[in-house]
Structure 1
Amino acid sequence: MLDTHARKYVDPIIDKTSKGFLTLNMTPNQVTILAFITGVIASVLVYFDYNIVACLLLWLSGFLDAVDGAMARKSNNSTPWGTLLDITFDRIVEIFIIISLALKFNQLIFNYLILTCCIIFSMTIFLTVGALSEKNGIKSFYYQAGVAERTEGFIFFTFMILIPNNTGLITNIFSLLIFITAIQRMMEAKKIFENKSSL
């Protein structure tokens, strides 16, 4: 939801940062890798209880993840390989954060398992709709908005890390919102494909 409706407020900062990286002759894929490494380091710090630093690095990773796309658009250097790296690294960072939390709070492993299942469910719909929409002639990769997008994920991960006494409850709420997002995306997909088939 925030990725869709609040992005315009941070776009000027993303724009300036992307120009700065391009001035340094960095490529979008290099920034994608930098975002990935930053996110993985954040997950390691979560396990060792450097929670504030971990959250700062996690948000930096998310910010760089937005910057690489802006760089690709500005330099006209958007590639399928770059998109694949971006999406894959995003999921790996999320997995690493969940694993770190599960190792710290092993009594909540089932909660984290449910969260992971919800993420897989939602992302499967998201990626499938994007791929099928492209094949059906919709311009570029179709992005489905939802209640829980990546920014909401970072907010919930931050709460899960910084409020350990309530991390189980926060995880369950996060899982529910992702599940709702998945259903929301599936219903939207049904309308998209029904409209396409009727043309």
Structure 2
Amino acid sequence: MLDSKIRPLIDPPLNAIGKNLARGGVTANQVTLAGALLGVTAGIAIGYQHYLLALALVLLSRILDGLDGAVARATSQSDFGGYIDIVADFAFYVAVPLGFGFADPTNLPLAMVLIASFTLTGISFLAYAVMAAKAGRETEAHGKKSFFYNSGLAEGTETIAAFVLMCLLPHYFGAIAAVYSFMCVITVVQRTIAAKMDFP
């Protein structure tokens, strides 16, 4: 929901840093994999109840997630890079709730619900992107991407905000996870309605 509104604010500094990294020989895929590694490590830190360390890792991971596109724009974008980026994103999305499930067994049911919600959201996102590609649709509302990004209530910005709240308020993980899972379900409904209207 907020991604397209935040992009004009964060893209200029990210693009400047991305150009410098590209000049230094850093590739977009290296940045993507480094971000994924930090994101998965955040999940491990959560599992050991090191919540503030996890918070720092979550934020660093997402900075790198923004930088990989900036590096790609400064060099060249590739379909494989787009593939790696989405796989890395969902590895991160799964790692954090999984960590909370290991940190406290009472978190496990809602951690599973949240992972299931992410799965459905991801499927709706990718299915819409496939249909959009077949129809030749394009958009740069979320920046220049390898495939079509359909907006919804729960996007990257909202996910990061939820994860930050979980790390700051781990005892409220269940409530935050329940609310965000509901937002994910609403997003799936939104995309399904959009798909019905756009691809009859």
Q: Give the TM-score of the pair, scaled to structure 1.
A: 0.92
Alignment of 1:48-87 (within 5 A): 48-75=48-75, 77-87=76-86
- 8 Å CA contact 2:40, 2:95 repeated in 1: yes
Q: CA deviation at 1:87?
A: 0.4
Alignment of 1:11-160 (within 5 A): 11-75=11-75, 77-139=76-138, 141-160=147-166
- 8 Å CA contact 2:18, 2:67 repeated in 1: yes
Q: CA deviation at 1:71?
A: 1.6
- Cα distance in 1 for residues equivalent to 2:171 and 2:48: 17
Task: Note if 1:167 corresponds to 2:173.
Answer: yes
Letter in 2 for 1:147: L
Q: Give the TM-score of the pair, scaled to structure 2.
A: 0.91
- Cα distance in 1 for residues equivalent to 2:151 and 2:159: 13
- Offset from partner CA, 1:108-165 (integer Å, 9 cap, x none): 2111111111111111111011012112222462111111101111111111122122
Q: Which runs of 4+ in 1 moved over 4 A?
A: none
Q: Match for residue 197 of structure 1?
A: none
Task: Note if 1:179 corresponds to 2:185.
Answer: yes
- Cα distance in 1 for residues equivalent to 2:115 and 2:99: 13
- Cα distance in 1 for residues equivalent to 2:182 and 2:129: 23
Q: Match for residue 10 of structure 1?
A: 10
Q: For 2:199, what is the secondary structure of its paired residue?
A: helix
- Cα distance in 2 for residues equivalent to 1:5 and 1:159: 21
Q: For 1:78, what is the secondary structure of its paired residue?
A: coil
Letter in 2 for 1:110: P
- Cα distance in 1 for residues equivalent to 2:73 and 2:132: 21
Letter in 2 for 1:122: T
- Offset from partner CA, 1:67-96 (integer Å, 9 cap, x none): 111221221x21111111110011111211
Q: Percent identity?
A: 30
- Cα distance in 1 for residues equivalent to 2:73 and 2:150: 20
Q: CA deviation at 1:50?
A: 2.3
- Cα distance in 2 for residues equivalent to 1:34 and 1:165: 29
Structure 1 gaps, min length 5 = 195-199
- Cα distance in 2 for residues equivalent to 1:136 and 1:11: 28
- Cα distance in 1 for residues equivalent to 2:108 and 2:49: 18
Count of matched residue pairs: 193
